[in-house]
Structure 1
């Protein structure tokens, strides 16, 4: 029960008190002014308290909380603490494409089961001064563990399912965030401390509350209900939503391209909020907009808990945040996560280490540290045939030399095949694992089974490989990151990067 100001009981004079002399006129005036000042101050306190209480209740009524019963009981442990006892925190940020609760007015479409359009796992290091945001492709093929359905039943584990289908399990219009949280914990071995879901309507309102966000649109977009002009601009509301949702008519039309724009947008949004400061005129409209759009786990289930959580993030500077897309490749019309690079990424975060394997302040303990890479042994004797699927002369010989330099012993060049935009790796029966290992040297390659294969592994080089080879050979090309697996280095983006930079795929 909330305490409210009550009426003060009248008090009489205690018996036996002495009679004081009558005050002078000047004393009367001073007491009168003091009384007015006191009453005015009391009125201001009560008015402020009343407004604060009303606003708190208003924000509290905005929040939606998902049921903790769906969160798995068998969960990963917390990350290692630093010298002060502080521990890393993992926050799962989900963008719901649900059309329920008026969201259809912004995005159109049918009212049905919500799915997770966007997923970012934010790892806040134990020092609470550095963070990494990992974007997980929505079409990634992952294992979904047991999940609780709205009818109270639990599903059986599912193999090789699209990542965003976890949010759709149970066909609830508001989605199944607990299932997505369980899936991320199973996939990464990281304990997810908080899950936050934001919908279309709330996202649009939040961008308006901060006065818009600066973005860079690579080209004019006109189609699928989205209309944006090319170039730098400030977007808010519907136009901001269009920018982060657009896939068709921009870049290569891929979900990977959309994630790169979302990362650029998040960096610009954080900068905008930090630049405005944390005064009430900036925070109250944002708090109102944010809570209207959020569905959170029970641990964040009140405005006070949200405010405390936000306060704990205040020391993280934009320059100390890095975005990275989980290392990926095409797998037909889906996306597969690249091993061992993605395993290395999860291991680094479990150890609370930066992407280049460094500590953010806690001394390393070699007796407890797990190896950074959990990759299995590579079979370097497996025969590999390399074909040129481009119009770039001599490309297959270049790839042959590169693979031999990596230690492959039986690599040969074959005749060119059909022109390919994307490099493909075909594998014969029993050689899928070896194909997965080979794919780490061809980021974004499409790995597929080939029942008629004449050799265990066949690499058909695509235009993507030709472009990478040309950039590497160019004297003007900047140095590539060192100390990072290729799949991590090529998918990383500093949060303070220019909003027009790094939008290769969109």
Structure 2
């Protein structure tokens, strides 16, 4: 017999699936979101990979410096060359990029990430620096001849292509520094603008008002106000204008602009780290950047780029430094100052921080500071017999070599540092050579000078100048004869001399006041 309407509805209700509990709904929703996140992440990685452009690895020099050897813990420092390009392509001309003769490079920073991954320093190389550019590969496959005493930024323009020549710039940096450049990253105007938007803007500061005429001197008039004096946040076009402007501040030079670029990068790093150095923060930033990024083949994937970025997450802002390579004006161009620049490259090659720490040395148990490496301490240098005084670091000591024998200043500086004092500089003394070492002191520094003199048996103490200065005599040379340095385990080189204060004292930390040290002249 056929079922009635009521019976059919009852049977239908009986066949319905039981309702899901709230817990089950949450689980299914979570699983769905996770699946979407995985698919979305995979899609984003695919998009990032397709965004990234790489340059020809065969265009790198065949005569390159050796790669840094791993330290005792298997860690190695990393050198990354960062180049700012004004290529006209990819929408850059709308942002003020490009010109005749292909792409140009007005910004180049060599970033050295130390082996301990606790310190990093970015060295700005002025665009007008006179350097030697080794042979470089042209777009047609031919190689140029070596060029001497030419502007540094001309390396990027070799070949006159719209993409520029990052391999040639890398070759020039390796020739200049004798350091192996592990990676090169080129960011154009469009990528830079997108990155600043991705982080929600970057805090900057100006020492005075800036107008349109300062950004474009050919305007012929003052123009409207672009930036008011003081702190403000910038992104996109305004961020580009900030890092590009040079007129109307200080002497209007590229050197002053470099200082503001270092301040900008400090603020950008601070902004990124404040959001957390994790994929959630870095992926949107990478998505913005990779659309306008050209890298060496070794960084040609999203995974490799993110992995490199994550290596910087444990570097404290105060231990991220920026400085400009030692320089002086030579007419309208810039000459590099020797031996200061040579000492800087030697310090990086030895993985020494600008304040003299050995970043490749293993940390002592329970301490974050690198331990002293006995292999890099000259055996002939006298060492303090007691533990350094806690107040010794407050005493600033300069070391001057009056003997004319090379290497003595560095050895004496290691002795002073080993006793806990702060070495502010090493150099040559003016005047006739001294037979006996003298420790000179300024007002109120006699007690400190007498303590320092104990490190140099036979030294005399006398007033003179400001602060505390050790002037080495022939007695120190006789007690510390020159000879082959004992190699450290694994063939490591003897520690280089401490950097002069003209370098170490001019560095900017990423946590510095954004309104400080913004101009030159």
Structures share fold, TM-score greater than 0.5:
yes
Q: CA 1:49/1:109 → structure 2, altered by over 3 Å: closer, same or farther?
A: closer
Matches within 5 A, 1:177-216: 177-216=166-205
Task: Give the distance between the partners of 2:280 and 2:166, measured in 1 at CA.
Answer: 32
Look up the match of 1:74. 63
Look up the match of 1:262. 261
TM-score, normalised to structure 1's length? 0.69
Structure 1 alignment gaps of length 5 or more:
1-24, 370-376, 381-404, 410-472, 476-481
User: 2:113 matched to 1:124?
Assistant: yes
Look up the match of 1:103. 92
Look up the match of 2:155. 166
SS in 1 for 2:132: strand
Task: Give the distance between the partners of 1:368 and 1:74, measured in 2 at CA.
Answer: 32
Task: Give the distance between the partners of 1:47 and 1:325, measured in 2 at CA.
Answer: 47
User: 2:395 matched to 1:406?
Assistant: no
- Say whether the 8 Å CA contact 1:72–1:182 is kept in structure 2: yes
Q: CA 1:168/1:378 → structure 2, altered by over 3 Å: closer, same or farther?
A: farther
Look up the match of 1:492. 507
SS in 2 for 1:196: strand
Task: Give the distance between the partners of 2:45 and 2:178, measured in 1 at CA.
Answer: 36
Task: Give the distance between the partners of 1:275 and 1:37, measured in 2 at CA.
Answer: 32
Using the TM superposition, give the Cα deviation of residue 228 of structure 1 relative to its aligned residue in structure 2, in angstroms.
2.0
Task: Give the distance between the partners of 1:224 and 1:147, measured in 2 at CA.
Answer: 36
- Say whether the 8 Å CA contact 2:215–2:244 is kept in structure 1: no
Q: CA 1:289/1:311 → structure 2, altered by over 3 Å: closer, same or farther?
A: same
Look up the match of 1:232. 231
SS in 1 for 2:148: strand
Task: Give the distance between the partners of 2:197 and 2:308, measured in 1 at CA.
Answer: 23
Task: Give the distance between the partners of 2:283 and 2:28, measured in 1 at CA.
Answer: 27
Task: Give the distance between the partners of 2:64 and 2:137, measured in 1 at CA.
Answer: 15
Matches within 5 A, 1:212-361: 212-222=201-211, 223=213, 225=215, 227-278=226-277, 282-360=281-359
Task: Give the distance between the partners of 1:87 and 1:118, measured in 2 at CA.
Answer: 26
Q: CA 1:378/1:58 → structure 2, altered by over 3 Å: closer, same or farther?
A: farther
Using the TM superposition, give the Cα deviation of residue 29 of structure 1 relative to its aligned residue in structure 2, in angstroms.
4.2
Q: CA 1:109/1:97 → structure 2, altered by over 3 Å: closer, same or farther?
A: closer
SS in 2 for 1:488: helix
- Say whether the 8 Å CA contact 1:198–1:293 is kept in structure 2: yes
Q: CA 1:213/1:367 → structure 2, altered by over 3 Å: closer, same or farther?
A: closer
SS in 2 for 1:329: strand
Superposition RMSD in Å: 3.2
Matches within 5 A, 1:383-462: 406-408=429-431
Using the TM superposition, give the Cα deviation of residue 361 of structure 1 relative to its aligned residue in structure 2, in angstroms.
5.2
Using the TM superposition, give the Cα deviation of residue 177 of structure 1 relative to its aligned residue in structure 2, in angstroms.
0.4
User: 2:143 matched to 1:154?
Assistant: yes
SS in 2 for 1:121: strand
Q: CA 1:254/1:336 → structure 2, altered by over 3 Å: closer, same or farther?
A: same
- Say whether the 8 Å CA contact 1:98–1:113 is kept in structure 2: yes
Task: Give the distance between the partners of 2:54 and 2:499, measured in 1 at CA.
Answer: 38
- Say whether the 8 Å CA contact 1:89–1:124 is kept in structure 2: yes
Q: CA 1:287/1:160 → structure 2, altered by over 3 Å: closer, same or farther?
A: same
- Say whether the 8 Å CA contact 1:338–1:487 is kept in structure 2: no
User: 2:124 matched to 1:135?
Assistant: yes
Using the TM superposition, give the Cα deviation of residue 495 of structure 1 relative to its aligned residue in structure 2, in angstroms.
2.0
Q: CA 1:290/1:108 → structure 2, altered by over 3 Å: closer, same or farther?
A: closer
- Say whether the 8 Å CA contact 2:114–2:360 is kept in structure 1: no
Deviates more, 1:490-499 or 1:232-241: 490-499
Task: Give the distance between the partners of 2:313 and 2:277, measured in 1 at CA.
Answer: 10
SS in 1 for 2:285: helix
Using the TM superposition, give the Cα deviation of residue 313 of structure 1 relative to its aligned residue in structure 2, in angstroms.
1.7
Structure 2 alignment gaps of length 5 or more:
1-13, 217-225, 362-371, 379-400, 405-427, 433-464, 468-496
Task: Give the distance between the partners of 1:146 and 1:100, measured in 2 at CA.
Answer: 26
- Say whether the 8 Å CA contact 1:78–1:87 is kept in structure 2: no
Q: CA 1:288/1:183 → structure 2, altered by over 3 Å: closer, same or farther?
A: same
Q: CA 1:483/1:38 → structure 2, altered by over 3 Å: closer, same or farther?
A: closer
- Say whether the 8 Å CA contact 1:217–1:232 is kept in structure 2: yes
Task: Give the distance between the partners of 1:367 and 1:355, measured in 2 at CA.
Answer: 17
Q: CA 1:498/1:128 → structure 2, altered by over 3 Å: closer, same or farther?
A: same
User: Cα deviations across residues 437-470 of structure 1 (Å, max 9, x unaligned)?
Assistant: xxxxxxxxxxxxxxxxxxxxxxxxxxxxxxxxxx
